[in-house]
Amino acid sequence: MAAGGVFARRGVRLAAGLVAGALALTGCGGGDESGGEGEKITLTVATFSDFGYEPLVKDYMAAHPNVTIKLRVTEFDQHHKQLATRLGAGAGAADIEAVEEGYLPQFRQSKDKFVNLADFGAKDLAKQWLPWKWEQSLADGGNFVMGLGTDMGGLALCYRSDLFKAAGLPVERDQVSALWTGWDEYFAVGDRFVASGSKAKWFDGVGNIYQAMMNQTPYGYFDTADAYVGDSNPAVKTAFDKVAAVANKPGMSAKLDPFSQQWNVGFKQGTFATLPCPSWMLGLIKDGSGPENAGKWDIAKIPGNGGNWGGSFLTVPKQGKHAEEAYELAKFLTSPDAEAKIFQNVGSLPSQPETLKNPAVLGFKNEYFSNAPVGEIYAKSGETLQPNYRGTRDADVRPVFGRALARVEQGKQAPADAWTQALTEAGKALGK
Amino acid sequence: MTTTTAATAVPRRRRRARPAGGRGKPLSYLLLAAVLASSVFPLYWTFVVASSDNSAIGEATPPLVPGGNLMENISRVFDSSEFSLALMNSAIVATTVAVGNVFFSALAGFAFARLRFRGRNALLVTVVATMMVPTQLGIIPLYLLTTELGWTGHLQALIVPALVSAFGVFWMRQAVDETVPTELVEAAMMDGCSLVRIFWHVALPAIRPAAAVLGLFTFMGAWNDFFWPLVVLNPENPTVQVALSVLASGYYTDYALMLTGALLGVLPVLAVFLLLARQIVGGIMAGAVKG
Amino acid sequence: MRGRLDRHLTPYLFVAPFFVLFAVFGAYPLLATLWMSLHDWHLINGDGGFIGLANYSDLFADPDFWNALVNTLSLFVISTVPQLFIALGLAALLNTKLRGRTFWRAGVLVPNVVSVVAVALVFAQVFGRDFGIVNWLLGLVGLDPIDWPADVWSSHLAIAAIVTWRWTGYNALIYLAAMQAVPNDLYESARLDGASTWKAFWTVTVPMIRPTILFTTVVSTIGGLQLFAEPLLFESKGASTGTGGSDRQYQTITMYLYEKGFTLFDAGSAATIAWVLFLIVALFALINFAVVRRTVASR
């Protein structure tokens, strides 16, 4: 439990004692809230964006009068970095902490800081989720349940039908989906689009395309035994080469960093025609493009296989005082019933087969995206997708390859050099 | 240490100082206007976006004219975060830190500049050396410490560590050295005046302008600090900067909302500046006269 | 008796608050950081064992560290030097008889109080590749647009512009405060000697505010070597890892520390960087004292 070594711990105590003494004189000091047995308790739920929990939490509190629930929302990166600091310090984390899929492997390395939800019988719930989503939450060969799955991010391809029309490409979503099966065809259509003389570029930037491709592979930089294979896995090299080949090709990439301010401007200005879009990205596209672009976006099938990008898990840090109550709440917030309600409230795609068959989910259409049947599109992609295994140290390596492609995109390096440098950097990051 | 010798070059006797560079010429106004325009533009632009709806941010050329959504955005800011609490917390933290820091710095600065005591130079060197300590870099042990004290989530986690700063002590030492005549302090000592009284009645009035500047800078620093508050506070009990991170929390950033929060967060600092401006600007001469 | 006790004890009481609080909240974390730097320390899992100076030898063998050091020095020089000179000039302007003095003085301080969120957004617009103001101006004179974050020189220039913009007014006010304490009779005698305003500035003003110049130089050096917020703002939101661009072209030492500690959770390495940075800053501060004292004194 102790976060520091003996010395560090003792040092903290000593320093703390000094200050506490000084503060006793001045009459300041922190209160220590501790509740006895059967008393009223407060549970805190920390997330990084609107998980749509507010109405659910009200219901829960009405049914459990002894429980008060506080929602804590912080910005995405800060949320995870803050969680890491607080786990390290052994205090300050919420009773329930959301962890996003991309961050999960890093936290899995520190599973001792989390409650094994299997202790409360989480394994009995396994069938609630799509098998791959359940698997993602496991550690220690399936004996340790890190968290309960919330949403997921099935992949699709968003495109600007007006730009397609101007370029002489099909506009109907089924016809567009029929334009490609794999990425090679997708880039070939891109060539046609560029040849039409459109001022817009074919896609937003290499970051998103590469991310989507990697999410379609069964495993990337690490094999399922968690050994580093970034330098030998043909899937990585193939994806890298394909993206690198078009990264600096005229007309192809708008060369925008995903989620940057310039990327937002790109939506509004229509500077690119397509981008891979997991379900949670639809809100960003809509808000970025603004009302004047309503009805111009549509959604087609993603080139290649189905894949998942994003989605989170509710974990229970060990440092909390009410682990069992926290688990009960997490169970409630991830129940099929709750997931259906959340989908209707904020549009997060459920990760549970039962909810995906729910007519309210299946029949949902998105008006902004030319009335695309998003419920059906994403529900289908969710059922058929191949999950991507992420190694424990995935986060140490993944950005290295992303940066390599960015160098190619910026015209600073040839693809082969970027690849070589990436391998060197990845090896270094892993301490080889 | 070198500082001591460097500072002694300052003359001890002061006459009423007056603006020295002569009258403002048209060219001066022109130059200043240019500087001011570039200084204020981002603030103005914050106001423009805060008064528009969110789509304004995506325009190729940013809008230059305010829109009509300011009131709506303001009420959204207060709805979607604990913003009024945040404003109050920031005010408490920044005011306490500024007052405490100025007071402790003035005490230490006075002692270093005008009192003789054993180990003075060694201690002064220590102060200057501590300025080089990148405090935010010891953030993990500092967090462990605040956790052990039970301060996590409470304002004292921000206030107490910021109550003193080497910058402040250094600054006030220079100020005392430049504005408080040694003769005066020595005369007061001969009269049997206690050191506390000398500090209060002789030193403090003379260094008021410098104290105002330090107070302003400390207030600004405490108000704008975001890394440490983000680590140690929770959104339930935020400062303005923490509340801003809540406003930025979605997958999609609502810039109109965020910049409205940013705008509301800047106004109190500007108010404090205007409050202290007379002290800082006019007071420097007044202080010099008394000296 | 009481008086002697007062003379001997009170000075220590005066300086005590600083030293007590600093010992707990400044020195203790620093020493704990030193302790961490000698261990294989994971941010979350904590102490993974004593490894001596291995973190240090790894750091010195790491080209990314030297890259970050060079970037930091480059950014420090191209932002601090112009910033202090402009601030000096600006202070001289503000020290003339002006109508609406408070207005002008408040105005120059605005960049320092505007929230970093707003600063990031505004400069993203200013240095944007496709729709940025600077590239638009370059286009007017027939130059190609520049992808500002992409290259070393362009990213450093842009970040230096942000730093200069944010901190010049702050330093100008410090200079102004010092200039106002310069006795007027010195200017009068300079004027009687037939010195121009320009010459009076260099022969009277600058030498008189020498301690303040020393002060700002030291403070700016310490701040400049710890440069963090501005380059981090320059990273786009989707990639706030502290890497400083696709080829680490604008990663500073503090960003490198941030990347190690909070992106890779390697607190031991982060602590090592913190300590090395501390030593570098100390070295620079000493050089500063020496150089500024000599150059200003020789005037």
Check pLDDT > 90 for residue A1: no
* Homologous superfamily, domain A157-307+388-429: Periplasmic binding protein-like II (3.40.190.10)
Check pLDDT > 70 for residue A353: yes
Confidence of residue B23 (pLDDT cuts 50, 70, 90): low
- Cα-flanking dihedrals φ and ψ of residue B254, to 5°? -85, 95
- The residue count of chain B comes to 291
Q: Do A28 and B160 touch (CB under 8 A)?
A: yes
> Which residue is it, tokens 């492609």?
A405
Over residues A87-124, the pLDDT tens digits come to 988 888 999 999 999 899 999 989 999 999 999 999 99
State CA C286 to chain mean position distance. Answer: 16
Q: Do C271 and B140 touch (CB under 8 A)?
A: yes
CATH code for the structural domain at A3-152+309-356: 3.40.190.10
Confidence of residue B137 (pLDDT cuts 50, 70, 90): low
At residue B135, the pLDDT reads: 59
Q: Residue B65 domain-assigned?
A: no
Over residues C154-168, the pLDDT tens digits come to 999 999 999 999 999
Q: Residue B44 domain-assigned?
A: no
Highest mean pLDDT among A37-46, A70-79, A157-166: A157-166
Read off the tokens for A355. Answer: 């909810």
Mean per-residue pLDDT over chain C, rounded: 86
State CA A174 to chain mean position distance. Answer: 27
Q: Does B22 touch chain C (CB under 8 A)?
A: yes
Q: Do B138 and C118 touch (CB under 8 A)?
A: no
Can you give the residue range of the structural domain that contains B205? Answer: 74-289
Check pLDDT > 70 for residue A370: yes
| Residues in chain A closer than 8 A to B152 (CB atoms) | 30, 89, 91-92
Range from A123-132, A310-319, A369-378, C177-186 carrying the lowest mean pLDDT: C177-186
Chain B: residue nearest C190 by CA? B20
Distance CA A292, CA A335 (A): 38
The CATH number of the domain holding residue B89 is 1.10.3720.10
Confidence of residue C2 (pLDDT cuts 50, 70, 90): low
Distance CA B86, CA B265 (A): 9
Q: How far is A216 from chain B (nearest CA, A)?
A: 22
Q: How far is B63 from chain C (nearest CA, A)?
A: 11
At residue A8, the pLDDT reads: 44
Question: What does pTM read for this prediction?
Answer: 0.87
Q: Mean pLDDT over residues A226-241, rounded?
A: 95
Read off the tokens for A125. Answer: 């719930």
Q: Do C96 and B23 touch (CB under 8 A)?
A: yes
Nearest to A261 among C35, C124, C246 (CB): C124
Read off the tokens for A131. Answer: 């098998």
Range from A318-327, B54-63, B94-103 carrying the lowest mean pLDDT: B54-63
At residue A174, the pLDDT reads: 94
Q: Do B43 and C114 touch (CB under 8 A)?
A: yes
Q: Mean pLDDT over residues C153-182, rounded?
A: 89
Q: Do A8 and B144 touch (CB under 8 A)?
A: yes
Q: How far is C217 from chain A (nearest CA, A)?
A: 33
Q: Residue B113 domain-assigned?
A: yes
Q: For residues A324-335, b (16+ Cβ closer than 10 Å) or e, as one string?
A: ebbbbbbbbbbb
Q: With beta carbons less than 8 A apart as the criterion, state whether A56 and A333 touch.
A: yes
Check pLDDT > 70 for residue B119: yes
Q: How far is A357 from chain C (nearest CA, A)?
A: 33
Check pLDDT > 60 for residue A9: no
DSSP A43: E
Chain B: residue nearest A23 by CA? B160
Touching subunits of A (3+ CB pairs, under 8 Å) are: B, C
Residue C190's contacts (CB-CB under 8 Å, 6 or more residues apart) are C199, C200, C203, C204
Chain B: residue nearest A47 by CA? B249
| Residues in chain C closer than 8 A to A107 (CB atoms) | 44
How many structural domains comprise chain B?
Answer: 1
Q: For residues C285-296, b (16+ Cβ closer than 10 Å) or e, as one string?
A: bbebbeebbeeb
Substitution target from A74, A85, A430 for chain C, most C beta carbons within 10 A: A85
Give Rg (Cα) of chain B: 23
Q: Mean pLDDT over residues B42-53, rounded?
A: 86
Check pLDDT > 90 for residue A372: yes
Nearest to B262 among C109, C118, C261 (CB): C118
Over residues A268-297, the pLDDT tens digits come to 999 999 999 998 899 889 888 988 899 999
Q: Mean pLDDT over residues A410-430, rounded?
A: 94
Q: Do B58 and A269 touch (CB under 8 A)?
A: yes
Range from A161-170, A200-209, A277-286, C285-294 carrying the lowest mean pLDDT: C285-294
Nearest to A317 by CA among A130, A112, A33, A150: A112
| Residues in chain A closer than 8 A to C267 (CB atoms) | 88
Q: Residue B201 domain-assigned?
A: yes
Q: Mean pLDDT over residues B108-132, rounded?
A: 86
Q: Residue B157 domain-assigned?
A: yes
Touching subunits of B (3+ CB pairs, under 8 Å) are: A, C
For chain A, give every residue range classified as CATH 3.40.190.10: 3-152+309-356, 157-307+388-429
Touching subunits of C (3+ CB pairs, under 8 Å) are: A, B
Q: Residue B253 domain-assigned?
A: yes
| Angle, helices A6-26/B139-148, rounded to nearest 10 degrees | 60
At residue A30, the pLDDT reads: 37
Q: Residue A126 to residues A65, A117, A378: CA-CA distances in angstroms? A: 29, 11, 22
Check pLDDT > 90 for residue B290: no
Check pLDDT > 60 for residue B250: yes
Q: Do C177 and B284 touch (CB under 8 A)?
A: yes
Q: Across-strand partners of A76?
A: none
Confidence of residue C295 (pLDDT cuts 50, 70, 90): low
Query: Following CA atoms B157, B158, B160, B162 in sequence, which dihedral angle do they give, to the nearest 10 degrees?
Result: 150
Range from A59-68, A90-99, A188-197, C286-295 carrying the lowest mean pLDDT: C286-295
Q: How far is B255 from chain C (nearest CA, A)?
A: 9
At residue A234, the pLDDT reads: 95
Q: Do A89 and B54 touch (CB under 8 A)?
A: no
| Residues in chain C closer than 8 A to B220 (CB atoms) | 112-113
Interface of B with A in 24-63 (CB under 8 A): 54-55, 57-60
Q: Is the model more confident about A8 or about C180? A: C180
State CA A382 to chain mean position distance. Answer: 15
At residue C299, the pLDDT reads: 41
| Percent of chain B residues topping a pLDDT of 90 | 25
| Percent of chain B residues topping a pLDDT of 70 | 83
